[in-house]
Amino acid sequence: MDVDGVLTDGTIYLNTQGYETKAFNVLDGTGIAYLRRAGIKTAIISGRNCDAVIHRAKELGIEDVYQGVKNKIDAYKQLLEKYAFSDKEICYIGDDLIDLPVFYRVGFPVAVANATPMVKQCSAYVTKVRGGQGAVREVAEKILKYQDKWHLIMERYQKPAT
């Protein structure tokens, strides 16, 4: 997945010293945790560099973080090789033109609701919510249900029998 506009609302916060910070949505983090619990790998490919992304990825157990990537297809190919995945096994969530080369390769390209029109047009699915507001969570649930793994998440939250 991308970061700015996907895991965040796309706003970049700079403090008076020029340090960049980002606001992440807890629903997205929970969705990523659910994917990890079901044995599904996640990765970040971002065109920008920000220490906050490294900290958030570490919190969420995301091992593969590519930042400052101007040609995202290179990072994508590294992930395919590292995990021996095929294109059709991959979902990628993006919002802008820089994401299109990956969209053209993956089996399930997803645009967030606030994505550019071209990205939406090239996607297999457009989220109902905007990036940074639970879009990744929405996609996580969709994937888990499609793969019949949602029950692995819900087991923990079932109402006890009386």
Question: Is 64 annotated as belonging to a binding site?
Answer: no
Question: Is 95 annotated as belonging to a binding site?
Answer: yes
How far apart are the C-alpha atoms of 46 and 70, rounded to whole Å? 8
What's the N-to-C CA distance of the chain in angstroms?
Answer: 42
Angle at 127 between CA 131 and CA 107, to 5 degrees: 105
Question: Is 4 annotated as belonging to a binding site?
Answer: yes
- Which residues on neighbouring strands pair with residue 21, listed in sequence order? 13
- Which residues on neighbouring strands pair with residue 91, listed in sequence order? 108
Angle at 31 between CA 96 and CA 132, to 5 degrees: 40
Among 38, 28, 95, residue whose Cα is nearest residue 60 = 28
- Going through the chain in order, the beta strands assigned E by DSSP cover 13-14, 20-21, 43-45, 64-66, 91-94, 108-111, 125-126
- Which residues on neighbouring strands pair with residue 111, listed in sequence order? 94, 126
Q: Which segments are annotated as binding site for substrate?
A: 4
Q: Which segments are annotated as binding site for Mg(2+)?
A: 2, 95
Q: Which segments are annotated as binding site?
A: 2, 4, 95
